[in-house]
Structure 1
Amino acid sequence: MFPTSPPESPPGAVPSDVPAAQVVRVALVDDDPFVLTALRAYLSSSPRIEVASTFNRAADALAFLRTVPVHVLLTDVRMPGMDGLELLTRVRSRHPGTAVVMLTSFDDDEAMLTALSQAANGFLLKDSAPEEIVRAVLAAADGGTTISPATASRLVAHHLRPVRTSRRTDLTQAEQSVLALLCEGYSNAEIAAQLFVAESTVKTHVSHLMRKYGTTSRLKLVVAVHREREAA
């Protein structure tokens, strides 16, 4: 959980030496006012992030987005009334250009899988380090997806069946081999060691795989592969 005293962060605009095009505008949603205070402090510590507003109700955040666009919405999963998952669904429908990062106190596999199936850009636990939350928001603004490490490991171990080969016919044998190891949770360096190739070669194959599957991150690629298998 969050520390008892959130770090001090003076209010104000993003420093003037940060180009406007690089500023990431963020809205925060959580029904706990202390959590909102802590999150604002954490994110305001980054010179690239501007916290546009905070909300304790999802409906209010949704109304805000109709008039003030933001790059990233960071929202709690469990809230009274409209919860974070419903908010994610509505934002995806009405504001597809807004990235959404989910934050929760519960290590909830079902909520995580639901969020990822709806193209959430992150799923973090509230005991994540402040710098991890900042990195996740910046990554989301760039189209990436971040999952808390322990949650990601469990996703691979318990929910994604091993992939030995893909049914696609447009993959080379080398790409098939890389994909199988990628779906088992191996890093690029570990895949390179397993296949006796350079890590740069693995990165090239992963880039080709993401392009062929129409994804923008390793995690989204893995999810896309398993959806493909389940649909077959």
Structure 2
Amino acid sequence: MSDVIEVLVVDDHPLFRQGVVHSLGLDPEFRVVGETASGEEALAMAQSLLPHAVLLDISMPGWNGIQTAEKIAMACPATAIVMLTMSEDKDKLLAALKAGARGYVLKGVSARELTEVLRAAVDGEVYVSPSIAAEMLVSLTQRKAPDPLQELTDRERKILSLIGGGKTNREIGDALFLSEKTIKHYVTNILQKLQVRSRVEAALLASRHEAGGAGGAGGAD
């Protein structure tokens, strides 16, 4: 981008905010057009100044950074929002991106890196600090759940198979020589273990996994 990039800096810590303003002022490609400690003021200034980018802290009194980002993104869709924060919380990262931020950068980043992120955001790219991005990828891969059917006992698998065959609780009870009330209890356990809400969902889940076979522990009657 050949034109000077105009930036609004929003942070409730005056010393840090002044440091950012000073750093950006040393780069001839950037011009800080405003600074504030408040999300409410940030929205008004963004609407008035229409900067190319807003550097926004997450933790502020009044409107926090995510609330402010959402309001600025709606009011000034052409303005690129970059979160500059101490928070490595993955939930806050996702909330910020959902609110409309194009960048999520940790405080402590070098002035050169910050200007590169701002340029990228203004050009429409999305940037997340590598340390958080890597941590999020690891957590997503580790969070991959095992086959929920492996949590079922042999008897629960049998009951699930009969559910898939369209049998009612009474019919299943007759087939297994158990009371309808006992079958109802088993069905409740099955739904909880599979994390589904209905017999139909449980049967569909079972049919999708059927090709993989049913291993697992012995039954607890």
TM-score range, shorter chain: 0.5 to 0.7
CA distance in 1 between partners of 2:70 and 2:99 (Å): 7
Q: State yes or no: 1:85 paired with 2:69.
A: no
Shift in Å, 1:77: 0.5
Which of 143, 166, 184 is the equivalent residue of 2:124?
A: 143
**How big is the shift at 1:160?**
6.4
Identity of aligned residues (%): 29
Q: Which residue of 1 aligns with 2:21?
A: 40
Change (3 A) 1:161 1:141: farther
Q: 1:156 aligns with which of 127, 131, 137?
A: 137
Residue 56 of structure 1 corresponds to which residue in structure 2? 37
Number of residues paired by the alignment? 144
**In the TM superposition, what whole-angstrom CA distance separates every residue of 1:138-190 from its partner, at most 9, and x where no partner exists?**
1111111111110111122213689xxxxxxxxxxxxxxxxxxxxxxxxxxxx
| Structure 2 spans left out of the alignment, 5+ residues | 144-221
2:146 corresponds in structure 1 to: none
Q: Which has the higher helix share?
A: 2
Between 48-57 and 148-157, report the one with greater CA deviation. 148-157
Task: Label 1:47 to 1:114 Cα distance change in 2 as closer, same or farther (>3 A).
Answer: same
Taking structure 1 as the reference length, the TM-score comes to 0.58
Q: Which amino acid aligns with 1:46?
A: D
- How far did 1:88 drift? 0.7
**Following the alignment from structure 2 to structure 1, what is the Cα–Cα distance between the partners of residues 101 and 45?**
19
Name the CA shift for 1:160/1:113 in 2 (closer, same or farther; >3 Å): farther
Give, in whole Å, the separation in 2 of the partners of 1:79 and 1:160: 33
Give RMSD over aligned pairs. Answer: 2.0
Checking the alignment, whether the CA contact within 8 Å between 1:42 and 1:134 is kept in structure 2 is no
Cα distance, 1:37 vs structure 2: 0.8
Q: Describe the shift of the 1:160–1:139 C-alpha distance in structure 2 as closer, same or farther (beyond 3 A).
A: farther
Larger radius of gyration: 2
Matches of residues 91-102 of structure 1 in structure 2 within 5 Å?
Answer: 91-102=72-83
Using the size of structure 2 for normalisation, the TM-score is 0.61
1:72 is aligned to 53
For the Cα contact (< 8 Å) 1:29–1:56, is it kept in 2?
Answer: yes
CA 1:39–1:160 in 2, change beyond 3 Å: closer, same or farther?
farther
In structure 2, what is the Cα distance between the partners aligned to 1:71 and 1:153?
28
Flag structure 1 segments of 5+ consecutive residues without an equivalent. 1-18, 163-232
Which of 15, 25, 43 lines up with 2:6 in the alignment? 25
Q: Is the Cα contact below 8 Å between 2:70 and 2:100 reproduced in 1?
A: no
